[in-house]
Amino acid sequence: MISRRALSSLRRAPLARGLSSRASTILHALDIRSDSELAGVYDGEWTGSGEILESVCPTTGEVLARVKSATPAEVERALERSREAYKVFRTVPAPKRGEILRQIREALAAKRDDLGALVSLEMGKIRTEGEGELQEFVDIADYAVGLSRMMNGRVVASERPGHSILEVPNPLGVVAVLSAFNFPVAVYGWNLALSLAAGNATLWKPAPSTPLCSIAVTKIVTSVLEKNGVPGAVAGLVTGGKVVGEAVVGSSDVDMVSFTGSEAVGREVGKVVQGRFGKVLLELGGNNAAIVMPDADLDMAIPAVFFGAVGTAGQRCTSTRRLYLHSSIVQKFLSRLESLYQSVRPGDPLDRSTLLGPLHTRAAVGIYHDAVDHLLKTGAEILTGGAPYTDLPAPLNGGNFVRPTIAIPQEVNVKDPVWSTETFAPVLKVGVFDELEQAIEWNNGVPQGLSSSLWTRDIRNVGKWIGPVGSDAGIVNVNVGTSGAEIGAAFGGNKSTGWGRESGGDAWKQYVRWSACTLNFSDEAPLAQGVQFSNTA
């Protein structure tokens, strides 16, 4: 039997040289060494002496690298340095901050393909999606460059002569970004770009299973900051697990926490941050529905549902989990959708012909199996999928591949966990309706409210869907799938999804400190509302 000390020594031993050539090439291009433990903390310098995190390739099961996460003392120091860096950066004029963002955008674009490949390697999404994720970061940086000259307040008319009222945005402070594994780069990018434009310092705590993506991005971003004379701690990094996350979320040195993850964890994050009167932005569960009317263009709707349910192996927050079909098109729609499902083959995400990559972890495979088992026990019909792949060649046989599944439960009861619980895997549940009102009720009946999609060519249906009796989700699409949002509009959901908004629209307003300023440029000091307060006769 191996002792704990011996086991610890083995875990800290140099990585075996069996790392695949494809992995070595990608890591080398991003200045990430795989032959020794990597520092997982950046606060102006690279450190890390805490728990060892293993980055495991979900496609093959190989260990890509080992990363030294943050100790409690290192988290505290990173927070202190973030605060110090903020005090410097807040005085930089906003257009100058925009110029720095432009340079970050250029540096990211130059490494877009390499970073996209790293996302595929470490997270598991297919190559085009990995590169698309990096493009989101590039796009939001573009957006923030322009925003840096447009983060305006407003002038409000005063009822008092010789007075004006201003609403003024100023930098907020330190923004902590806790990102999820499924978008290991883009979610941070959405937050970082707006936070930098606003004049804040940002401290990133990534998912513990994707440390390499965070290290690679931090190296690129901080090199640009430092070339411009800005402290690197403006974009700090602390890798680690639950203990590190709790320390960051609970710190009074953090003015705002942006958390992307599960509803269960998000609920606790919200309580902690609100308990200390900090600002919190939550992006939580999805459980998104697509509704297809009889007049829908099926040549558009079927591929969109296919991508929404199978893309990223069902691991997007906006993945299509529920499909509601009008009774008149059920057979026609499902037969074509099933053909697409049966045509997809798992493969190496780095191969551009691959459409189906792995689930991110072994635990996710277990969640998939539990969901399928529960569907079967409750009498659902499994139209296709529902089982693991058992005949994959090496090295894919070491990966986390599952068959995309279409299930038809016996009934639609949105209060039942079959419908109300989000399964972060490619499991699509189908229900049948006769009237749009019924489908809208089902769409709105679950706790989550992120994305939704209606397929129709009838303008009356559109008006109902996007209006006060329509979808209650944060994203309400028409003839567009639930998945694949652009950066120009605010991204986020309602209800138990958390009500947070990131990316475009008015999302930037969360990253600033607002003040109302009344200016008196007259020779008198009247009170508002005509109040008289004087002891003179």
Mean pLDDT by 10 residues, the chain (537 residues): 40 47 94 94 98 98 98 99 99 99 99 98 98 98 98 97 98 99 98 99 99 99 99 99 99 99 98 98 98 99 99 98 99 98 97 98 98 98 94 95 98 97 98 99 99 99 99 99 96 98 97 98 96 82
Tokens at 408, concatenated: 């038809």
- Domain contains 110: yes
- Domain contains 6: no
Which of 284, 304, 319 finishes a domain? 284
pLDDT of 6 reads: 40
Nearest-angstrom CA–CA distance, 270 and 253: 16
Which of 255, 284, 313 finishes a domain? 284
Nearest-angstrom CA–CA distance, 34 and 54: 11
How many domains does the chain fold into? 2
The verdict on 229 and 322 lying in the same domain is no
Which of 284, 310, 342 finishes a domain? 284
The verdict on 169 and 85 lying in the same domain is yes
The pTM (predicted TM-score) of the whole model is 0.94
pLDDT of 331 reads: 98
Range of the structural domain that residue 174 is part of: 40-284
The verdict on 326 and 258 lying in the same domain is no
pLDDT of 537 reads: 55
Q: In what order do the strands lie in the sheet with 38-39?
A: 38-39, 63-68, 52-56
The verdict on 263 and 297 lying in the same domain is no
pLDDT of 346 reads: 97
Per-residue DSSP letter, 503: E
The verdict on 429 and 292 lying in the same domain is yes
- Domain contains 376: yes
CATH number of the domain that 417 lies in? 3.40.309.10
The verdict on 267 and 369 lying in the same domain is no
- Domain contains 321: yes
The verdict on 330 and 420 lying in the same domain is yes
Contacts of 446 (CB under 8 A, 6+ apart): 287, 289, 322, 414, 419, 420
pLDDT of 534 reads: 87
The verdict on 228 and 299 lying in the same domain is no
- Domain contains 511: no
pLDDT of 535 reads: 81
The verdict on 277 and 297 lying in the same domain is no
The verdict on 437 and 387 lying in the same domain is yes
The verdict on 121 and 153 lying in the same domain is yes
The verdict on 308 and 276 lying in the same domain is no
Opening angle at CA 49, ends 45 and 52, nearest 5: 120
- Domain contains 34: no
pLDDT of 9 reads: 40
- Domain contains 202: yes
- Domain contains 384: yes
Asked if 528 and 159 touch (Cβ cutoff 8 Å), the reply is yes
CATH number of the domain that 261 lies in? 3.40.605.10
Tell me which residues are annotated as active site.
283
